[in-house]
A and B are shown apart, each in its own frame.
Chain A
Amino acid sequence: MAVEHHSESESFVSHYQRALANPTLQRALSTATGKALQARSLAVEQIGENDWQSLRERARQIKEHTVNHLDFYLDKFAAEVERAGGHVFWAQTAQDARDYIVKLAHRRGIKVVVKGKSMMSEEIDLNAALLAAGVDAVETDLGECIVQLAGERPSHINMPAVHKTREDVSDLFEAKLKIERPQSIAEMAAIARSLLRKRFAEAGMGITGVNYAIAENGAIVLVENEGNIRLTTSLPRVHVAVMGLEKVIPTFVDVDVFLKLLARSASGQKLTSYVSFLKGVKRSVTEEGPEEFHVVLVDNGRVEMLANPDLRESLYCIRCGACLNVCPVYQKIGGHAYGWVYPGPIGSVLTPQMIGGERAAALPFASSLCGACRDVCPVKIDIPRMLLHLRHEIKASTGPGDAALSTDADERTTVVGRGGAGIRGRAPVVAERIAFKVWAAAMKSPGRYRVAARLLRLVQKAFGAAGSNGKRTLPVHKWTATRDLPPLAATTFRELWPRITSEQASPTTAISPRAEA
């Protein structure tokens, strides 16, 4: 089944324009993010602002500490997993991870794999590899099941099918499952339950991600509401957990901080319906659970992120999805427009670093830097700072060369690759360079600033009333097509000030005689 991959053939601009023009998607995004945000607000209010901020601070402290000693903690975690009877595979690339899992399935004679929701498994494109190897990989989370049937990627970190209406899902079930069109959501859930129970019964392997990997004891923690992860980790004989290197935390008691933050940030719940703490494997056939446990530790570019101190905090992310919900850009364009596995603000930081490429280089620019993501992030990741940093890296990669007259950011060929390798680009647009030079010149002294302000007022008068600003100015028409220059005041504050102070007739005002009016 073809998955809609990050495609070079459709540009970012064209993709998001399509999203913006889709009223169903717009409604779905608005409703879903609105509900999630409201639930989150209530949950934060309930726990109290002080405790919430204290938790965020502590969570960041734990992540910073762990990431700064990632070698120590991963080594410890792996040793504990092995001591408890599990296997650890260190996968440098996505291919390494895929190969290990496919080989494992073959060697154990496994034909059916059930999967819990795992963004990491999406990242390494695991399902396609299993399918190509003749192994059926069945998504069991309802949202993931839906997007799998549709041959799409999930469009949100924890609401995979947020872009689909109930009619879409009905249509999908009818077409792909060859059944009578379901009439209600309850009916669709019941159909999914019944279908997936059969797959659970026959699956030889269960694959999940990992929410938290505890270094001191080798246990993993998995959170969910549906129960499919419990089924995935209890029924099949082999359990494989794929995790990014950054999922490790130092101690058992540290988990509480993250659990308090995660469900509230994601969906406004105090705790998800199920939290599973799993350590080791059974030693006898009369015990429940899998016989084999494998952890696949995945690098896939994370070590390079680690090496860059400016971008290292990308690794603190606990995948709560709050930044997506609050982002004015995500709310309008949805997850698929971002072109890869991770959408939203965190996606705009991860994608350029992990896969690079032209399309990814556009993402850090697709932000107003409003900072809402930073405000809601449970681990206090400063996403706007990283977006700016990435913008600098992308721009700095421009070499001498033909100045492009295009003003379309999407058409610039800058490539931000891993560790800065393979970066090339064209010079910034001529108009942009001139504009910045002029601005820099105008800001050099208060006198120049005053002159510039007067000039600008004249220019604005010349171009007519608000609403038509710049429409006749070609190089910036794309900017002004959706923005108006706010009308400049007839009198500036600086011009007004001497009048105000002389009216007050106060001889001891704090204005320095040298301050320009």
Chain B
Amino acid sequence: MLEQSLNGKDQMLARISSALGRREPTRPAPLPPYELNVPRPDQEELIARFILEVENAGGSVAQVNSRFEVQTYLQTVLPSADQIVALSDGATLRGLGIGQWLKSSGFRVLGTLREFAADGNGIVESPEQLRAGNEAESGTLFEQYKQRLFEADVGITSASYGLADTGTLVLLSRSEQLRLISLLPPIHVCILEPKQILWSLPDLLALEEQMFLTSESQPQTMTCITGPSRTADIEQTITMGVHGPHSLHVLLYSQPNEVPG
């Protein structure tokens, strides 16, 4: 292990304290809280604003109220049956029976890493074994899974929240294995329910603050997605999909008896 003697840290902290004119770190009184005046729109306004912002950011939004409508939409995204679909394990997706529908429609479906492992794929190595080995060992579970995922045409996930102010999808790795499924395939379809939409980032941060602070120090990954991948690095001309997906489809799914007025 690459251990640094405690001196490296202590030395630097001592120099910083000294630069600040003190002998050692002192706990400061925290800053007073801060909030901009934020609008508090109702559910209808939230949804309308969310849709507008997602579209401004280059994504497309469809409001769907049934399994059938979801399937119809997916068929437009998946015109040919020889496409590979990566499907994450979000509860909404399971509830909508998307996996079963895809398979029965003849699509090749790749699940999550966990599902891939459970299917008996790959040689599951311990972290220690992985560390000792070389990179790109095609035998390792993660390597095999990644290779397969690189070939997927579409990735379907759900989201934990939406942010109306910026048209943002919020994906949490602890809720669903969607980190790579939402990133590697060139098309990303994301399903969420209108009730999951918050106004903006401060609302999200307030909700997630505890989980990130948690003393069990469980790993956390939160990804905020606003529109498809883009770059303007050549002559400031916007090009989509240089690394992440070039298309983002958001399906706002309301249960039939929950259709907003």
| Residues of A near any B CB (own CB < 8 A) | 28, 31-32, 35-36, 51, 54-55, 58, 61-62, 65, 68-72, 74-75, 78, 83-85, 87-90, 92, 100, 103-104, 107-112, 140-143, 146, 159-161, 164-166, 169, 185-186, 188-189, 192-193, 196-197, 201-204, 214, 216-219, 225-228, 230-231, 234-237, 245, 250-253, 255-257, 259-260, 267, 270-289, 291-292, 297, 299, 303-304, 306-307
Contacts and interface: CB of A to CB of B under 8 A. Distances in A.
B130 to A, nearest CB: 6
Contact of B135 (A196, A204, A216): A204
A89 B141 contact: no
Contacts of B228: 273
Query: Which of B16, B147, B205: most chain A Cβ within 10 A?
Result: B16
Given A32-B236, A90-B9, A185-B234, A72 B25 contact: yes
Nearest to B226: A271
A227 B30 CA distance: 35
Contact of A188 (B20, B114, B232, B234): B234
Contact of B131 (A166, A278, A291): A291
Interface string B222-247: 11111111111111110101111100
B69 interface: no
A317 B166 CA distance: 25
B244 A217 contact: no
Given A83-B217, A201-B147, A142 B234 contact: yes
Interface of B: 2, 4, 8-9, 11-13, 15-20, 22, 24-28, 30-31, 34, 36-37, 53, 57, 113-114, 117, 124-127, 130-131, 133-136, 140-142, 146-147, 150, 165-166, 168, 173, 177, 179-180, 183-184, 201-202, 205-206, 208-209, 212-213, 217-237, 239, 241-245
Given A69-B28, A234-B180, A274 B223 contact: yes
Nearest to A35: B236
B37 to A, nearest CB: 8
A207 B93 CA distance: 34
A509 B209 CA distance: 66
A185 B2 contact: no
A204 B243 CA distance: 18
Given A161-B234, A234-B180, A286-B113, A250 B31 contact: yes
A253 B201 CA distance: 9
A202 B16 CA distance: 40
Given A87-B2, A234-B180, A70 B8 contact: no
A189 B9 CA distance: 43
A142 B4 contact: no
B50 to A, nearest CB: 13
A284 B30 CA distance: 36
A487 to B, nearest CB: 42
A197 B229 CA distance: 14
Given A273-B225, A285-B117, 17 more contacts: A71-B20, A71-B24, A72-B25, A185-B239, A189-B239, A189-B241, A218-B217, A225-B229, A230-B223, A271-B166, A273-B57, A277-B221, A285-B125, A286-B114, A288-B179, A299-B12, A307-B19
A252 B12 contact: no
Nearest to B34: A58
B168 A271 contact: yes
Given A69-B25, A196-B243, A112 B135 contact: yes
B19 A253 contact: no
Contacts of A109: 133-135
Contacts of B225: 273-274
Contacts of A88: 9
B90 to A, nearest CB: 14
B131 A245 contact: no
Given A69-B25, A280-B220, A306-B16, A202 B136 contact: yes
Nearest to A297: B12
Contacts of B173: 288-289
Contacts of A104: 2
CB-based closest 10 A-B pairs: A227-B244, A204-B135, A280-B219, A143-B233, A307-B19, A227-B243, A71-B25, A72-B25, A275-B224, A277-B222
19 contacts: A69-B20, A90-B11, A92-B11, A109-B134, A146-B234, A164-B234, A204-B134, A217-B213, A225-B229, A226-B244, A230-B183, A234-B179, A253-B209, A259-B201, A271-B168, A273-B228, A280-B218, A288-B180, A289-B173
Contacts of B166: 270-271
A280 B34 contact: no
Contacts of B20: 68-71, 306-307
Contacts of A89: 2, 4, 8
A460 B38 CA distance: 61
Contact of A253 (B12, B205, B222, B236): B205
Given A219-B212, A234-B180, A90 B8 contact: yes
Nearest to A306: B19
A245 B19 CA distance: 13
Nearest to A228: B243
Nearest to A113: B135
A304 B125 contact: no
A288 to B, nearest CB: 4
A110 B135 contact: yes
Nearest to B172: A277
Most chain A C-beta atoms within 10 Å of own C-beta, residue among B179, B231, B241: B231
Nearest to B235: A166
A96 B31 CA distance: 34
A75 B125 CA distance: 34
Contacts of A62: 31
A285 B126 contact: yes
B2 A252 contact: no
A287 B113 contact: yes
A274 B20 CA distance: 36
A146 B242 CA distance: 13
Contact of A250 (B8, B24, B30, B242): B30
A326 to B, nearest CB: 16
Contacts of A285: 117, 124-127, 130, 140-142
Nearest to B219: A280
A108 B131 contact: yes
B31 A271 contact: no
Given A103-B2, A250-B31, A279 B242 contact: no
Contacts of B180: 234-235, 288
A72 B28 contact: yes
A285 B202 CA distance: 33
A193 B241 contact: yes
A279 B212 contact: yes
A272 B36 contact: no
Contacts of A303: 12, 15-16, 19
Given A108-B131, A109-B135, A75 B223 contact: no
A276 B2 contact: no
Contacts of B53: 270
A293 to B, nearest CB: 9
